Structures are given as C-alpha cells and as structure tokens.
C-alpha cells in the first residue's frame, strides 16, 4: 500500500475510533507508519487528510449499500437484505458516527460527504419503494421519501441503541420491527 493510502486508511480508522479531535497528526503518522514529512508531502494538513478519509468511507458505504439494494428481488426483499446485512453493530456506522462529531458537522467541507451519502441512501431507498409501489408490491398509502427516512433512522438509531446497551439485540429488534411494518404494507396489497 502506498504512503497516501496508508495515511488515508489510518485516518479512517482513527476517525471511527476517536473522532476528529482525537485523531492527531502524530497518531495518524504512527498508525500509518509514515513520517511527518510524508504526511505533509501528500496532504495539506489534517483537514485535507480527514476529508480524503471521509470521502473514502462514504464511497465504501455507498458501494456496500448498492451491492445489496441493486440486487435481485422484490422491493421488500432488497430492503430486507439491506437491513439484515452483516454489520459490526457495536462499532457503529462509520458515516453515521461522523454526524455526532461537532468538529466535522461545523465544517462545511468535512460535513459535505456525510450529508451527500445520507441523502444518497435516502434517495436510493425511496426509489426502491417507488418501484414497489409501481409494481403493486406495497400499499398505495406509503410515501417513498418517508419510508426511506424511517429506514435510515432505524439503522442509525439501532446503532446508537446497541452501542448504549453494549448488545446488538437493540439493533436487531429495531430492524425486525421495521420489517414487520413493511411486511404488513405488502400484505395489505393482497387483502
């Protein structure tokens, strides 16, 4: 792995573990096995490196979500696959956790990839719900943007509840509850 790649990956890990303030240039260099000169040769400073790391994390999250959401199956099946996919629940969402970091949220450049990714996810989920409505899979009373927001809120809130309790059970319960509500919306169509 090249030095810039090692620096980006080290920053990604540290942002997830410690947040922006806890991610010092010295900690990045130590984790990446790179010197100060290398870091500042490739990046203008910590904000520049953090932005590259956040963008990489956001791109990875989109690719992971799209791999499931773009798969085969009904709208419900694709949403269920997204909700039930393998996650490190107790570690939390690497993008969602950034929303809790005041130094990232108050910086327009650092916040932009976070906003864009969550907007993309809500939009992608809304399109799937729209597809389900068009195919008659869901009851017509569903509003795609609202269902998409509820899905994202369930996942992000599930992470928070799981971390607070120290158990993935809270996440799993939230996901099962949402899937039951969506299943009811599909059953209502045939009744």
What is the tens place of the pLDDT at every residue in 124-146?
999 999 999 999 999 999 999 99
38 versus 56: the higher-pLDDT residue is 56
Q: Which helix (H) or strand (E) holds 183?
A: helix 169-190
CA dihedral for 65, 66, 69, 72, sign (positive or negative): negative
* DSSP letter string, 52-84: HHHHHHHHHHHHHHHHHHTSSS-HHHHHHHHHH
Tell me, yes or no, whether 91 lies in a domain: yes
Q: Is 191's pLDDT higher than 80?
A: no
Tell me, yes or no, whether 148 lies in a domain: yes
Tell me, yes or no, whether 39 lies in a domain: no
Tell me, yes or no, whether 44 lies in a domain: no
Tell me, yes or no, whether 48 lies in a domain: no
Q: Which residue has the tokens 């400073």?
A: 45
Spatial CB neighbours of 49, under 8 Å, sequence gap ≥ 6: 7, 8, 11, 28, 39, 43
Domain that holds residue 65: 57-190
Count of H helices and E strands in the chain? Answer: 9, 0
Total tally of structural domains belonging to the chain: 1
Give the pTM.
Answer: 0.91
Is residue 104 within 8 A of residue 20, CB to CB? The reply is yes
CATH number for the domain that contains residue 176:
1.10.357.10
Task: State the pLDDT at residue 190.
Answer: 55
What is the tens place of the pLDDT at every residue in 14-48?
998 898 999 999 999 999 999 889 899 999 999 99
């Amino acid at each position: 792995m090249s030095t810039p790649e090692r620096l980006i990956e080290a920053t990604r890990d540290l942002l997830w573990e410690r947040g922006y303030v806890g991610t010092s240039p010295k900690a990045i260099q130590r984790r990446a096995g790179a010197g100060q000169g290398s870091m500042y040769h490739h990046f203008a400073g910590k904000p520049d490196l953090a932005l590259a790391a956040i963008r990489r994390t956001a791109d990875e999250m989109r690719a992971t979500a799209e791999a499931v959401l773009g798969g085969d199956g009904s709208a419900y099946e694709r949403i269920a696959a997204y909700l039930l996919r393998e996650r490190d629940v107790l570690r939390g969402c690497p993008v969602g956790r950034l929303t809790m970091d005041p130094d990232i949220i108050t910086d327009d450049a650092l916040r932009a990839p976070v906003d864009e990714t969550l907007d993309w996810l809500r939009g992608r989920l809304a399109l799937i719900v729209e597809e389900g409505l068009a195919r008659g899979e869901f009851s017509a009373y569903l509003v795609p943007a609202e269902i998409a927001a509820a899905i994202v809120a369930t996942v992000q809130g599930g992470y928070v509840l799981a971390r607070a309790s120290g158990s993935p059970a809270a996440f799993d319960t939230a996901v099962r509850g949402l899937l039951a509500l969506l299943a009811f919306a599909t059953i209502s169509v045939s009744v």
